[in-house]
Amino acid sequence: MTALSVIDISRNFEGVQALDHVSFEVAPGERRLIIGPNGAGKTTLFNILAGSYAASDGRVALFGRDITGLPTYARARLGLSRTFQITNLFYRLTVLENILLALQAGRGAASPVLRLLQQDRTLIARADALLEQWELSELAKHAAQDISYGQQRQLDILLAMAVEPKVLLLDEPTAGLSAAEVPRVLTILRSLPRDTTVLMIEHDMDVAFELADRITVLHQGRLLAEGNVEAIRNNPQVAEIYLGID
């Protein structure tokens, strides 16, 4: 059984074909990288997978279950989690409070008043363990708005992982990071457990080649190429269209 099946997905925006019959499958535990030039349809694809957009045509299946018509929250409850190009945090809350809310959401229940979560010893212990595991303990009492952008990106990934997803969608996790911040985020991405399938959009080819088991290349809304790192690295169409090499 595949973890994620993208079946003949198309999306049209008022006459603009953002995706044109895209199909591929992602195996359980796989690290699949989605690359392509600006306007290739990468983020549109993620929005459809997450349920933010409806597909004009085609289907999406999660571990064999058709989720095409399900809203975002229902997909999340089935184990699909997502980060965004721009961090999606509660900036005035502390790092710890952000994690507590994410853990509560993972319970599948509506979040109670934050001060009640802060009295939940089981939840606090889980949050502390996550902070220690991800080496963010020293930031626990800092407001999210006061930590560095690189640390915010780390926290964003941590929040997505706090719900223990089966499939994690990462939208350009290294975007906007300084050269000094990228290695730390790469370390986190490498450490993600293999029982979580990862689908990642990435603009940095070096990052893509380092992390990927397989790579899917989109161009003008269509699937241009698919294969392992070596196959994509040596693909002349990818070199010409994505890398700008004639």
Same domain, 151 and 245: no
Same domain, 169 and 246: yes
Same domain, 146 and 171: no
Say if 85 falls within a structural domain: no
State the residue range of the domain holding 48: 1-79+165-246
Same domain, 55 and 8: yes
Residue 103 has pLDDT above 90, yes or no: no
Averaged pLDDT, 151-164:
86
Residue 110 has pLDDT above 60, yes or no: no
Say if 75 falls within a structural domain: yes
* pLDDT category of residue 239 using cuts at 50, 70 and 90: confident
Say if 104 falls within a structural domain: yes
Distance from the Cα of residue 9 to its chain's centroid:
19
Residue 147 has pLDDT above 90, yes or no: yes
**pLDDT for 246:** 43
Same domain, 104 and 212: no
Mean pLDDT of the chain: 88
Say if 13 falls within a structural domain: yes
Say if 84 falls within a structural domain: no
Domain finish residue from 131, 164, 197: 164
Q: How far apart are CA 242 and CA 211, in angstroms?
A: 18
* pLDDT category of residue 108 using cuts at 50, 70 and 90: low
Same domain, 110 and 145: yes
Same domain, 240 and 176: yes
Residue 159 has pLDDT above 60, yes or no: yes
Q: How far apart are CA 32 and CA 121, in angstroms?
A: 37
Same domain, 160 and 204: no
Residue 183 has pLDDT above 80, yes or no: yes
Same domain, 204 and 172: yes
Domain finish residue from 164, 188, 213: 164
* pLDDT category of residue 115 using cuts at 50, 70 and 90: low
Residue 86 has pLDDT above 60, yes or no: no
**pLDDT for 85:** 59
Residue 120 has pLDDT above 80, yes or no: no
Cβ–Cβ < 8 Å for 45, 225: no
Domain finish residue from 164, 196, 228: 164
Q: How far apart are CA 71 and CA 101, in angstroms?
A: 20
* pLDDT category of residue 114 using cuts at 50, 70 and 90: low
| Total-model pTM | 0.86
Say if 243 falls within a structural domain: yes
CATH number at residue 179: 3.40.50.300
Residue 109 has pLDDT above 60, yes or no: no
Residue 164 has pLDDT above 50, yes or no: yes
pLDDT, one tens digit per residue, over 26-74 is: 999 999 999 998 889 999 999 999 999 999 999 999 999 999 999 998 9
Same domain, 174 and 159: no
* pLDDT category of residue 112 using cuts at 50, 70 and 90: low
**pLDDT for 236:** 92
Say what percent of the chain tops pLDDT 90. 50
Counting the structural domains of the chain, the total is 2
Same domain, 175 and 154: no
Same domain, 199 and 131: no
HEC states along the chain? CCCEEEEEEEEEECCEEEEEEEEEEECCCCEEEEECCCCCCHHHHHHHHHCCCCCCEEEEEECCEECCCCCHHHHHHCCEEECCCCCCCCCCCEHHHHHHHHHHHHCCCCCCCHHHHCCCHHHHHHHHHHHHHCCCHHHCCCEHHHCCHHHHHHHHHHHHHHCCCCEEEEECCCCCCCCCCHHHHHHHHHHCCCCCEEEEECCCHHHHHHHCCEEEEEECCEEEEEECHHHHHCCHHHHHHCCCCC
